[in-house]
Structure 1
Amino acid sequence: MSGNVDFNLLNFQSYEDYLNSFIKKEEYRYLSSMQPIRKLVKLGYRCTAKVYEEHEFYQLRKQLHDHISPKVLSSVLYGSYFKGTDAALQALVDREEANLLQKLSTIIFLQVRQRSGFDICGYIDYEKSLRDFTLKLPDRTNWRAVFEGRAKLRPKPSDLSFFDWHRSILCYNDTYNYETVRGSNTLMFKHKADHKLIPVTDKPNPHSDNVNRLMIPSEIYGYIILYDHTLR
């Protein structure tokens, strides 16, 4: 597959959603109908980037899904390089294959102290992070180095959610597995395959049955929290 393929296409469930991503609210106020606005987008008046035709969108999206979800796993799992004793990393090793086979979907919560003394924290889509490393995508986590102990796992602004306590930077991102659902006092993630809501809280929630929350002490990270969602 070409290295310049737009992986952002995986964030859209339909061609209409894809076209809508180019549209600003102000344009809808003036024209009051999505149909003429979408036509302008397709004609290229809305942006300088290439806008795919409908058949191109679905064809490329299928190719991307086939590429990132191979039917046969690589013969080497990155967890096979783990030789340490850290319970948190062992838990990730135990979940790697099930995540890559998409039988299980794990969200990692991690809080890391920086040299400045301030923390960064975030929610990581484990399966996506593993795939990004395999595909050598930009801003990837080197999972082999993490399991070998040569690098530390860190939340990034490109993860599902990220917060920098020192600079007060807060980021939310959808992935091809999850859609971020934010409320006034709650944060949840909706899995795009089965549309189940995953609450990331230790408080009772109507959707708590969709996830198993596990806090694991760690020699390296202090602790991590895993949110395991079994795919049906």
Structure 2
Amino acid sequence: MEEKGLRLGDSQMKSQGTRMIQTGKDGKKRNAMDVIRCRAYDNYLNSFIKMEDRRYLPNDRAIQQLVRLRSTVGTIVMTPSQFKDAHFSPLGSFFYFSEQNIANDPLTIALAEREKPNAFKTLSTIIFVSTRDSKGFSVSGYIDLEQSLRSFKTVGVKSHPWAEIFAGHRRLEPDQQDLSFISWNNGKVFYNDSDNYKIIPDAVKGLSFLYKGDGSILTIEKYITEEHSLCTFIDSPKHGSAVIYDHRIRRKM
């Protein structure tokens, strides 16, 4: 039901786009969809900006030009046309990465297999990732796969760059917006409820997640110690150590 709502929103936006005209910073007139694409690409470029960049170049436009020229090891910055193809395909926000060419990496392959079941709400997946961020510091955290994918496909919502992750251009790095995030460099810890899960910290059972859809509780410690069949350990050359926790959604009576 939720996906149909998004599809209707996309079609309404496209039909209204020819009537809604705005003037861009370059003086050219653009319809609503053009404006959305420009803003989305600006947000994409901003995701590469570092603190040092703003220290020396306070103007965002100048920094974005630097981002396009700067090459970081393991990172490819898409051009506007490449970004448009990846995010604004004829299927709109309804293309699936599992139907595209994905990197030959055990984690991306495993996540591609789970994409549609998560989208169709037959399966809910939490990913634990322990890796290094762009500055080389150790970070780890839990990610709600369905919400993260949906947020990425919804223009304007900040999330993980899944198009590049599945293509093998970027690492999957947890951040402060995820279910949990730990920066081992400074010891900061963040917890957030997602659309699908509520965080349940327990001194005895450890970290648990309540799936809001059917009321099931996923206890991380239990999944690991009992060698749960829906718990998968993955060692990825690209993304580091990961654990995938799957929950088969039960329908409420």
Give the alignment's Cα RMSD to 1 decimal: 2.7
TM-score (normalizing by structure 2): 0.59
Pair 1:195-2:204 in alignment = no
Instruction: Report the CA distance shift for 1:230/1:137 in structure 2 as closer, same or farther (over 3 A).
Output: farther
1:116-135 to structure 2, matched below 5 A, reads 117-135=136-154
How far has the Cα of 1:75 moved from its partner? 5.1
How far has the Cα of 1:113 moved from its partner? 1.8
Structure 1 SS opposite 2:169: coil
Q: Which residue of 1 is the match for residue 102 of structure 2? A: 83
TM-score (normalizing by structure 1): 0.64
How far has the Cα of 1:65 moved from its partner? 8.5
How far has the Cα of 1:116 moved from its partner? 5.2
1:1-232 to structure 2, matched below 5 A, reads 67=5, 76-114=95-133, 117-185=136-204, 186-201=206-221, 202-204=224-226, 212-232=230-250
CA distance in 2 between counterparts of 1:164 and 1:76 reads 33
CA distance in 2 between counterparts of 1:123 and 1:137 reads 22
- Given residue 219 of structure 2, which amino acid in structure 1 is its aligned partner? P
Do the aligned partners of 2:208 and 2:219 also contact (CA within 8 Å) in 1? yes
- Given residue 67 of structure 1, which amino acid in structure 2 is its aligned partner? G
Say which structure is richer in helix: 2
Of 74-83 and 117-126, deviating more is: 74-83
Return 5+ residue gaps in structure 2 as ranges: 9-91
Do the aligned partners of 1:68 and 1:131 also contact (CA within 8 Å) in 2? no
CA distance in 1 between counterparts of 2:138 and 2:182 reads 8
Instruction: Report the CA distance shift for 1:224/1:212 in structure 2 as closer, same or farther (over 3 A).
Output: same
Instruction: Report the CA distance shift for 1:151/1:157 in structure 2 as closer, same or farther (over 3 A).
Output: same
Q: Cα deviations across residues 139-183 of structure 1 (Å, max 9, x unaligned)? A: 211211111112221101010010001111101100110000001
How far has the Cα of 1:137 moved from its partner? 4.0
Structure 1 SS opposite 2:149: helix
Instruction: Report the CA distance shift for 1:225/1:161 in structure 2 as closer, same or farther (over 3 A).
Output: same
CA distance in 1 between counterparts of 2:138 and 2:102 reads 28
CA distance in 2 between counterparts of 1:88 and 1:124 reads 13
Return 5+ residue gaps in structure 1 as ranges: 1-62
CA distance in 1 between counterparts of 2:3 and 2:107 reads 29
